[in-house]
């Protein structure tokens, strides 16, 4: 189903860029390294409206959940009052459906005047007054995925508009563009255009996601132009969706893992913790594996109505510290056996994070035995180590030897997240 969705999406590609114009810009500057913006040195953290609020523009029927200035101001207030900002969630991000149906008389994008009466600049000022940053959304092609004005042919104007509004992040979607070449040219052009504004704007791309149906993306090139990039289909509020993302990520880890690092991250899409579709164990699995994968932590939920357990999970400082580890190396699937997956991630100060996921979806909790010398390329616990369980609850497991065997119990669809420290 997901592959078909991607193919259908690829068919919607229809922007055609005048290559001669691009040639002057992109190839006029020898050896240009477009993106060295010093941003996203650790994975971006924040809140993004799409999965929970989608393209709901009916503020009469849904005054509290339509895509509006009010929604973002309320989320900004809660990000400060409820500890989200203190936990590291910094970027409050608008997704599709914020725009008016047409550009203004000068060809500039404009916010829907009813839903955003103060405009984006005023919303940005409000968000900045809370010590947060504001993200916005646009599209490389002729239209956004929901049919609002696309940036094709307006890259410089739109980049300057976003900078004038003091926006801090741009999520750039890939709908309605006709070919791989034009897709790549558009993403590169917008990267340069944002750079030229002189404002620090995190650049979140969907370039590989739209490239895959046409050919294997050039991740080295993508990493040069984007701060993070989506490669796989949209996350849904369902265990099926989380499993599909994890399976795609592990199946393609040989291609994507080594490209990630400070300034450029693989983005497996939003955290749906605190919504409706995942059990507690499955929410733990998403949080644990997004930490292992060094993924941007962009929640999409309703901070006005989130249960305390989900909030504690999302604000877990030990897990966030793994996600934000300064070494910036993405983790990977080490092995799969007996319906368990063992993932590991090298951390700074010779530590390792290890996630043990019970793939089985029948029966009860099961034991898994791990020979510690098999972890961390045989050095995670060499000659000895101290192991702490971080999820689903924090528990010090104590000191172990290189030759020790760790026995842990994992619930069906759940994950145990460990941190292995070599005593210094
Ligand atoms: C999709 C994108 C989603 C969301 C949506 C908006 O292409 O993957 O994350 O941005 O468009 O229409």
List, in order of start, the domains of the chain with CATH numbers: 3-230 (3.20.20.70), 332-421 (2.60.40.1180)
Q: How far is the CA of 382 from the centre of ligand 1 (A)?
A: 45
Residue 34 CB contacts under 8 Å (≥ 6 apart), including other chains: 188, 191, 192, 195, 224, 225
Q: What is the mean pLDDT of residues 288-301?
A: 99
Q: How far is the CA of 234 from the centre of ligand 1 (A)?
A: 7
**How many CB atoms neighbour CB 250 within 10 A?**
18
The DSSP output letter for 289 is H
* Contact (Cβ atoms closer than 8 angstroms) between residue 193 and residue 152: no
Name the residue of 177, 234, 236, 244 whose CB sits within 8 Å of the most ligand 1 atoms, as the mutation to test its pocket.
234
CA distance 97 to 144: 8
Q: How far is the CA of 275 from the centre of ligand 1 (A)?
A: 18
CA distances from 203 to 191, 225, 232, 275, 366 (A): 7, 8, 17, 27, 42
Using alpha carbons, select from 63, 194, 65, 82 the residue that is nearest to residue 130: 82
pLDDT of 76 higher than 70: yes
| Nearest CA, atom 3, ligand 1 | 234
The pLDDT score that the predictor gives to residue 3 is 43
Q: How far is the CA of 55 from the centre of ligand 1 (A)?
A: 10
CA distance 375 to 256: 21
The pLDDT score that the predictor gives to residue 178 is 80
- Ligand 1 atom having least distance to the Cα of 233: 8
How many C-alpha atoms does 270 have within 13 Å on its Cβ side? Answer: 26
| Nearest CA, atom 8, ligand 1 | 234
pLDDT of 81 higher than 80: yes
Please report which confidence band the pLDDT of residue 30 belongs to, taking 50, 70 and 90 as the band edges.
Answer: very low
For residue 234 and ligand 1, the question of a CB distance below 6 A is answered with: yes
For residue 139 and ligand 1, the question of a CB distance below 6 A is answered with: no
The pLDDT score that the predictor gives to residue 350 is 94
Q: How far is the CA of 66 from the centre of ligand 1 (A)?
A: 16
For residue 90 and ligand 1, the question of a CB distance below 6 A is answered with: no
CA 366 to mean position of chain CA atoms: 31
The pLDDT score that the predictor gives to residue 1 is 41
Q: How far is the CA of 31 from the centre of ligand 1 (A)?
A: 32
Residue 87 CB contacts under 8 Å (≥ 6 apart), including other chains: 314, 315, 317, 320
Element (H, E) at 80: helix 69-81
* The 415-421 sheet, strands edge to edge: 332-337, 340-346, 352-358, 415-421, 384-391, 395-401
For residue 146 and ligand 1, the question of a CB distance below 6 A is answered with: yes
Name the residue of 7, 148, 173, 241 whose CB sits within 8 Å of the most ligand 1 atoms, as the mutation to test its pocket.
173
For residue 54 and ligand 1, the question of a CB distance below 6 A is answered with: no
pLDDT of 150 higher than 80: yes
The pLDDT score that the predictor gives to residue 35 is 63
Residues noted as catalytic: 173, 234
Please report which confidence band the pLDDT of residue 36 belongs to, taking 50, 70 and 90 as the band edges.
Answer: confident
How many C-alpha atoms does 49 have within 13 Å on its Cβ side? Answer: 28
List, for residues 126-147, the tens digit of each pLDDT value: 999 999 999 999 999 999 999 9
| Nearest CA, atom 6, ligand 1 | 96
pLDDT of 375 higher than 70: yes
For residue 145 and ligand 1, the question of a CB distance below 6 A is answered with: yes
């Amino acid at each position: 189903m997901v592959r078909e969705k991607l193919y259908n999406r690829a068919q919607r590609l229809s922007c055609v860029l005048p290559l001669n114009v691009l040639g002057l810009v992109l190839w006029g500057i020898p050896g240009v390294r477009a993106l060295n913006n010093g941003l996203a040195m650790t994975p971006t953290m924040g809140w993004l409206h799409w999965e929970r609020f989608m393209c709901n523009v009916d503020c009469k029927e849904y005054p509290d959940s339509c895509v509006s200035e009010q929604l973002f101001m309320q989320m900004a207030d809660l990000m400060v009052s409820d500890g989200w900002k203190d936990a590291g969630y910094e970027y409050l991000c608008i997704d599709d459906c914020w725009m008016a149906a047409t550009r203004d008389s000068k060809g500039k994008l404009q916010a829907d005047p009813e839903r955003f009466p103060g405009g984006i600049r005023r919303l940005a000022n409000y968000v900045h007054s809370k010590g947060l940053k504001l993200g916005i959304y646009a599209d490389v092609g002729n239209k956004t995925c929901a049919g609002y004005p696309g940036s094709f042919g307006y890259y410089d104007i739109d980049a300057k508009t976003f900078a004038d509004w003091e926006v801090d992040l741009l999520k750039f979607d890939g709908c309605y563009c006709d070919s791989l070449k034009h897709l790549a040219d558009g993403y590169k052009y917008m990267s340069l255009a944002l750079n030229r504004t002189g404002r620090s704007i995190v650049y979140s791309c969907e370039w590989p996601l739209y490239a895959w149906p046409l050919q294997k993306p050039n991740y080295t090139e993508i990493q040069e132009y984007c701060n993070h990039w989506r490669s796989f289909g949209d996350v849904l509020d369902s265990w099926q969706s989380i499993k599909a993302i994890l399976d795609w990520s592990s199946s393609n880890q040989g291609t994507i893992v080594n490209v990630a690092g400070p300034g450029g991250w693989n983005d497996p899409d939003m955290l749906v913790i605190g919504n409706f579709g995942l059990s507690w164990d499955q929410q733990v699995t998403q949080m644990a594996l997004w930490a292992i994968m060094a993924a941007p932590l962009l929640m999409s939920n309703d901070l006005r109505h989130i249960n305390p357990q989900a909030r504690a999970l999302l604000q877990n400082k030990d897990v966030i510290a793994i996600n934000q580890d300064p070494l910036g190396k993405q983790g990977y699937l080490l092995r799969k056996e007996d319906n368990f997956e063992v993932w590991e991630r090298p951390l700074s100060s010779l530590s390792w994070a290890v996630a043990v996921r019970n793939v089985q979806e029948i029966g009860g909790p099961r034991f898994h035995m791990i020979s510690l010398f098999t972890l961390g390329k045989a050095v995670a616990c060499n000659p000895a180590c101290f192991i702490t369980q971080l999820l689903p609850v924090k528990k010090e497991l104590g000191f172990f030897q290189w030759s020790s065997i760790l026995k842990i119990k994992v619930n069906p669809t759940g994950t145990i997240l460990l941190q292995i420290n070599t005593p210094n």
